[in-house]
Amino acid sequence: MAPRHVPRGVAVKRVHDVDAATLTMDIPAQHAEASFEAFFEESCQRIVGIVAVATGDVAAAEDAVQDAYARALTRWGRVSRLDRPDLWVARVATRLAIDAWRRRRRETPLAAEMRAAVHDDIDRLWVRWGLEVLSPMQRMAVILRHVEGRPVGEVAAAASISPETVKTHLKRATRRLRHLLGESR
C-alpha cells in the first residue's frame, strides 16, 4: 500500500485537535451530522434492545450503546460507508458491555445465593429463556439469529467471527437451552 501524502496547503491537525466534522471530510459537515442523527434515531432503541437481551442488564446496555454511538460518531466517515452500520454499533456495544461485565465480575465477586430481582420484560425473558447459562457470544448469536432473524453471515459480521464459529455457538446454545428447558430431540 502506497503511503498517503498530505497535499500542500492543507493544515495537519494533531489527533486530539480533530473533531467529528474533520473525520467526515468526504461528507459535508452538515450532511454528516444530519445523516448520523437520522441513523441514531432509526437504530438506537433496537440496538439497546439487542444488547440488553444479550447481556441481561438494561442499564449496562444503555451505557454500552451510548459509548458505541460516540465511537461511531468519531468514525462516521468510515462507519457510514458500511453496508450495515447498525451491526457495527451493535457489535461494539455488545463487546463494551461484556468488557464492563468482566471488570465488574473481577471487582465484586457475588455470593452464589444472591439473585437479582426481576424488574422488567428483559429480565423476565432472560430468566424464562435461561439465557444466563449461555456465554455472551452464544447469547449474541441466538438473539441476532433467532430473535432478529438475521442470516448467519450477518451474525458473523456483527460478531467479527466466521460463519462456522457462529454455527458452533448456535449449536452449543441450542443444546444448552434444550437441556435446561427439558426439551429433547
Write the pLDDT tens digit of every residue in 107-138: 645 444 444 444 556 666 665 667 777 888 88
d(CA 157, CA 162) in angstroms, rounded, equals 8
d(CA 9, CA 36) in angstroms, rounded, equals 29
pLDDT single digits (tens) 11-33: 444 433 434 443 333 444 445 56
d(CA 121, CA 68) in angstroms, rounded, equals 24
The CATH homologous superfamily of the domain defined by 27-181: PhyR, sigma-like (SL) domain (1.20.140.160)
Amino acid at 8: R
d(CA 7, CA 17) in angstroms, rounded, equals 19
From the centroid of its chain, how far is CA 162? Answer: 17
Other Cβ atoms closer than 10 A to 117: 5
Q: How is the chain split into domains, by residue range?
A: 27-181
d(CA 110, CA 108) in angstroms, rounded, equals 6
Q: Among all chains, which residue has been given the C-alpha cell 444530519?
A: 34
**Region of residue 71 (phi > 0: left; psi between -120 and 50: alpha; otherwise: beta):** alpha
> Using an 8 Å Cβ cutoff, are 68 and 89 in contact?
yes
pLDDT single digits (tens) 73-83: 999 999 999 99
146-164: average pLDDT? 88
pLDDT single digits (tens) 161-178: 999 999 999 999 888 888
pTM equals 0.50
